[in-house]
Structure 1
Amino acid sequence: RTRLMISDGRHYCIAMTRSQQSPLVYSLIRIFKSIHQTIKDRHVLMLATWEIASEPVEKIGSPVDLSEPKSEPPPQVNPSSTNSSYAANKPASGYTPQKDSNGGYGGGMDDPATKRITSISGLNPYQTKWMIRARCTQKSDIRKWSNARGEGQLFSCTLTDATGEIRVTAFKESVNQFYPLLENDQVYYISGGAIKPANKQFSNVQNEYELVFDHNTTIRRCTDGTHTSVPGTRYQAIDLSQLGEKAKDDVVDIVAIVKEVGDTSSITSKTSGRAFQKRELVVVDTSGYQVRLTLWGADAENLDVRAAQANAVIALKGAKVGDFGGRTLSLPMSGAMALNPDFQEAHRLKGWWSAEGSRQTFASFSSGEMGLGGSGMTRDERDAASFRFLAEAKAENLGGNEKPDYFGARATVTYIRQENFAYPACSSEGCQKKVIDNGDGWRCEKCNKLFDAPNWRFIFALNISDATGQIWAQVFNDQAELLLGTSANDLMALRDRDQAAMTAVFNNVLNNTYAFRLRAKSEIYQDENQIRYAAMSILPVDYAQASRHVIKMIEQLEI
């Protein structure tokens, strides 16, 4: 920090700034944003945004110290007209740490009735003593970490009052101290802690600062009857139709109807090897769009499935936008979710669903990702929307933009490249990296482990064709196993025993027609931009459904 003495010609006071600028004595400066604070009965101005207006000039006037006592009382400060409400809400003196015996925790807290309350919007890093009255509107699970620098744990929560909200994080020992104390939807008096600029990479809260609990923090539940004046979660909800305007990883608030509920499933992180629970929902709103929503961890496991399946209203705070197959939503650890919340927009949405929404057909941001299992509409409606002849997909330049496109096709397998149809992968759970035979065994560079044998995984290209044209598509392990009816490990073993039998496995697939779901993506190959195709699913053709689709296409022809 840089300490300055500033004057307006009549009075002077101390100013502090973090800026790298260093004005010369008697330079004129222009202040755009500042925070007033009183420290030991002296006025101090914290300069947030300012600039040098001119080079040094002669001293202006005969200023006196602004902090000198005056014969008349100082004017009242209007908190709404300043950048901080601290000046109007300066805590009373006499703060003495004491053991809290009334639901509090920490180093002690003065009686809230004897202290002024600072609004959340008035908190800033320059304050040393403050107290807020706020509602805990979102409390995360405890997350543990372990890396080269050591181990630790953390949790975060969001505090809300009538003026705004702020994100709070506790680390290591503070987690054990404060996590049991805070409960969602309860109101607390909170004092002490480090206020610092918010890290927007981990925070979706609309506040330029965030709070870190430390050994100076004290918390006491509000039991004096004033808790009813503290509002709950603040939603700045957008329509689902507006997700098309959002970028990947943008954070949004959503209020919608649950249209479909999937089962929980377990996935393993490729980086940590840890297993996570996930559950997928499809949500809709009055904008006529539907989007797939993924819940993780405790949110997925503790979901009230009965209420959700009854088309509950779901309110999401801090959902993250994804671009897989168009637009999707997921709820990160820093987000919050409520089913059937009690506010006006939720009641209006429930009435719309009962009156007309339940009979409506919804649009999606991608024809290939419309609902759970790729089926947001009926199967006929989905296939009609996503189906492309192969020549049609090329003519529309699907995959030619920055993001991949997904489409369905009915095509016949005409050729499979059998050379190098599998690669040796790591045998560790959750790791699929290629391993190298170094003579002593198969080594995984990522896991730093040596194995006697690799875990073979399929990866090969096949040529498919329909009446309009043909394309090459990449097939990966899961779909290849379904297509061939065997695993890569078994097929590699068969190749070593009987080459002809291995070839027969591939030949059994040739000249058969399947329903493909394909991804088209633009990639640079040998310094050229090319559209590459990958088979995301390969299923037997439902000829009854396919016939209905063909009939509908014929009916649409203008003959």
Structure 2
Amino acid sequence: MDNDLSSENRGEKRVLEGSSNTTSPVKKPKTDDDKMVFYNHPILGNINILPIVALNPYINKCLIKARVTNKTDIRKWSNPRGDGKLFSMDLLDESGEIQCTGFKSQCDQFYDMIEVGKVYYISNCNIKHARKQYCNLNNDYEMTLTEDTEIKLCQDESGDVPTIKFNFEPLSAVSEKSDKATIDVLGVVKFVGKMQKILHKTTSVILEKRDIQIVDESHSVVSLTLWKSEAREFDGSNFPVVAVKGASIREFNGGKCLTLFGSSIIKINPDIPEAHKLRKWFTTIGSGEEMRYISSVLNMDTYMQYVTLQEAKDLKLGYSQSDCYFVKATIEMVETKKSLYKSCPVKNCMKKVIDQPNNMFRCEKCDKEFPNFQYRLMLNMSLADSTRNEWAIAFDEVAEKLIGLSADVLGQLQETDNTNYVESLKKIVLNTYIFKLRVRAERFNDEVQLKTTIMSVSPVNFVQYNRYLLNKLKKSLDISNV
């Protein structure tokens, strides 16, 4: 390479030695020392690492150093022209970001080796104009892996490659954007909807989804739809902060909402200054302030609201299907005798084991004997509000959160100090929380009984709850004056 090239012309030279094709002029982004960065490629030799912002379709060959910030699942397709599969990943360096897609054999070659969060050297990809309907990144181009593509892990990461790049906009901006536009948002989860299963109209595949509401300092409320594992595993207790990169805007019933899709990234309670600032706002004043609903009111009606225990009974929740609701209630009694049991140590089994004379523990479900077991909680308690009481069961994580001790610690107490064990369970009596309850009808001895399970528990946010009561009172007065 000619080292006497002026800095103005350095971006115009051929990227790889030996290439017969020249590139169109590409302006090199300015850096502190205005020096070219080189990588000693095992085959291509000492070549220039291009910043992502300098990539364009006229470059014959190129090498970038970038961090993988997101990787989709492998998606398959079938049409009259044949079958195929693909995956895509989002790449980021200090100059910008770009989407890279691999098809068919490239899926087999590269998918398993690519890890989100790692930095890689990537060379010899095709570059073309981005298809904006499939890409939400701020780049006019996208990359495609080829048979000549080489990907090598960067072993000596210097920290010069950023981890993720958000360009947050206020939730109020959602109402001004067009349908299917993308946006980066940061919000506090105000409400969590039920898990739903829907049938995809085109593929006839059953999809899992969950809708949540998020708010921010623009005093706006927007519905955000989560899919698949994000929907199943989402924990909305304690009002988490969520950061979403590349949420897609959708029009629905006269309003606008957000949804995740293939290349979207969601982070729960991210450790960034913007999230800490938003959390402080919500806990001090935001939770009690009036909000503007950008998503349609009809869509909001699907969210779980506060009800009393008597209202839940009058509405016959849980009899026709499994239902969830929020209630502010006080623990008035705890059953201590059968709150702990020895379970199968196999992950996700949770079946009660039987003590054997040979000091082994048998699981009938697994049809095996084990030398050990795992303690699990099944805390049965009576909840009461001003209308009535209801018996409910809290399992494992929820019960441990209430008591403040793990099941293993409680098991040791039960064996060595039963008095202390009982007191540890009783200390939660007369405490008041916001409970998320799931109710479901079950048939037992030809009788239908309603089973109530505590799905989550959180401290009472009195500002928010009082706001709910005032709104409820206002509605009742409006109705009475009609």
Q: TM-score normalized by structure 1?
A: 0.50
Question: 1:185 and 2:161 equivalent?
Answer: no
Quote the Cα distance in structure 1 between the aligned partners of 2:68 and 2:81.
Answer: 31
1:351 alignment partner, one of 236, 256, 280: 280
Alpha-carbon distance in 2 for matches of 1:221, 1:43: 28
CA deviation map 1:164-209 (0-9, x unaligned): 0000111111112111111222211222221111111211111111
Displacement of 1:364 in angstroms is 0.4
Which residue, out of 152, 161, 167, partners 2:93? 161
Secondary structure, counterpart of 2:12 in structure 1: strand
Aligned-pair CA distance for 1:331: 0.5
Contact 2:29 2:54 in 1 (8 A): no
Q: Where do residues 321-336 of structure 1 align in structure 2 (5 Å cutoff)?
A: 321-325=249-253, 326-336=255-265
Aligned counterpart for 1:261 among listed residues 165, 174, 192: 192
Alpha-carbon distance in 2 for matches of 1:141, 1:232: 20
Match of 1:36 in 2: 12
Match of 2:24 in 1: 46
Seen in structure 2, the aligned counterparts of structure 1 residues 551 and 183 have a Cα distance that, compared at 3 Å, is same
Question: Quick check: 1:292–1:372 contact (8 Å CA) kept in 2?
Answer: no
Report if aligned partners of 1:193, 1:212 keep a CA contact under 8 Å in 2: yes
Q: Which residue of 2 aligns with 1:96?
A: 43
Inter-CA distance 166–367: structure 2 relative to 1 (3 Å threshold) = closer
Partner of 2:477: 551
Query: Partners in 1 of 2:480 and 2:115 — Cα distance?
Result: 61
Deviations for 1:247-272, whole angstroms, at most 9, x for unmatched residues? 11111111111112223221111121
Residue of 79, 84, 89 corresponding to 2:28: 79
Partner of residue 243, structure 1 = 174
User: How many residue pairs are counted as aligned between the two chains?
Assistant: 307
- CA–CA distance in 2 between the matches of 1:198 and 1:223? 30
- Mapped contact 1:256–1:349 kept (Cα < 8 A): yes
Cross-structure match for 2:238: 310
Asked whether the equivalents of residues 204 and 251 of structure 1 are also in contact (C-alpha less than 8 Å), the reply is: yes
Q: Secondary structure at the match of 2:279?
A: helix
- 1:173 equivalent in structure 2: 105
Asked if structure 1 preserves the Cα contact closer than 8 Å seen for 2:257 and 2:295, the reply is no
Which deviations, in whole Å up to 9, do the C-alpha atoms of 1:362-403 show, x marking residues without a partner? 220256246361678999xxxxxxxxxxxxxxxxxxxxxxxx
Counterpart mapping for 1:155-554 below 5 A: 155-226=87-158, 228-303=159-234, 305=235, 308-325=236-253, 326-365=255-294, 368-369=297-298, 371=300, 373=302, 549=475, 551-552=477-478
Contact 1:370 1:377 in 2 (8 A): no
| Aligned mates of 1:356, 1:331 — CA distance in 2 | 29
Say whether 1:116 aligns with 2:48: yes
Cα pair distance change 1:550/1:174, threshold 3 Å: same
Moved over 4 A (4+): 39-45, 87-92, 374-379, 545-548
Distance 1:192 1:547 in 2: 66
1:327 is paired with a residue whose SS is strand
TM-score of the aligned structures, taking structure 2 as reference length: 0.57
- On the 8 A contact 1:282/1:372 being kept in 2, the answer is no
Q: Distance in 1 between matches of 2:260 and 2:157?
A: 33
Read off the aligned partner of 2:294 and give its amino acid letter: F
Contact 2:22–2:60 (CA<8 Å) still a contact in 1? no
> 1:278-304 CA deviation, whole Å, 9 max, x = no partner?
11111111111111111112322343x
Any conservation in 2 of the 1:258–1:283 contact (CA below 8 Å)? Answer: yes
CA spacing shift, 1:235–1:547, aligned 2, 3 Å: closer
Is 1:134 the counterpart of 2:77? The answer is no
What is the alpha-carbon distance in structure 2 between the residues aligned to residue 231 and residue 242 of structure 1?
26
**Rounded Cα–Cα distance in structure 1 between residues aligned with 2:21 and 2:109:** 36
Match for 1:311: what amino acid?
F
Mean alpha-carbon deviation: is it higher for 163-172 or for 187-196? 187-196
SS in 2 for 1:309: coil
Secondary structure of 1:352's partner?
Answer: helix
- Supply the AA of the counterpart residue of 2:475: H
Q: Which amino acid aligns with 1:182?
A: I
Query: What are the superposed Cα offsets for residues 330-374 of structure 1, whole Å, 9 maximum, x if unpaired?
Result: 001121111111221111111212222222332202562463616
Query: Taking structure 1 as reference, are residues 301 and 214 closer, same or farther at Cα in structure 2, changes over 3 Å only?
Result: farther
CA separation of 1:81 and 1:365: change in aligned 2, threshold 3 A:
closer
Structure 2, unmatched stretches of 5+, are 1-9, 309-470
* Paired residues of 1:288 and 1:362 also in contact (CA < 8 A): yes
Query: For the Cα contact (< 8 Å) 1:35–1:46, is it kept in 2?
Result: no
Q: Distance in 1 between matches of 2:209 and 2:186?
A: 21
Q: Bigger relative contact order, structure 1 or 2, given CA contacts below 8 A and separation 6+?
A: 2
Q: Is the 8 A contact 1:91 1:130 kept in 2?
A: no
Whether contact under 8 Å (2:252, 2:295) holds in the other structure is: no
Which is higher, the Rg of structure 1 or of structure 2? 1
Q: Secondary structure at the match of 1:234?
A: coil
User: Aligned partners of 2:151 and 2:204: how far apart in 1?
Assistant: 37
Matched AA of 1:356: I
Q: Distance in 2 between matches of 1:185 and 1:47?
A: 32
Name the aligned partner's letter for residue 46 of structure 1: S
SS for the counterpart of 1:373 is: coil
Structure 1 residues 359 and 80: CA distance shift in structure 2, 3 A: same
Distance 1:188 1:329, change over 3 A: same
Instruction: Kindly state the Cα deviation for residue 547 of structure 1 after the two structures are TM-superposed.
Output: 9.3
Residue by residue over 1:387-427, the C-alpha shift from the partner in whole angstroms, topping out at 9 and shown as x without a partner, is: xxxxxxxxxxxxxxxxxxxxxxxxxxxxxxxxxxxxxxxxx
- Letter in structure 2 aligned against 1:342: D
Query: For 2:473 and 2:190, how far apart are their aligned partners in 1?
Result: 28
Q: Verify the 8 A CA contact 1:280 1:372 in the aligned structure 2.
A: no
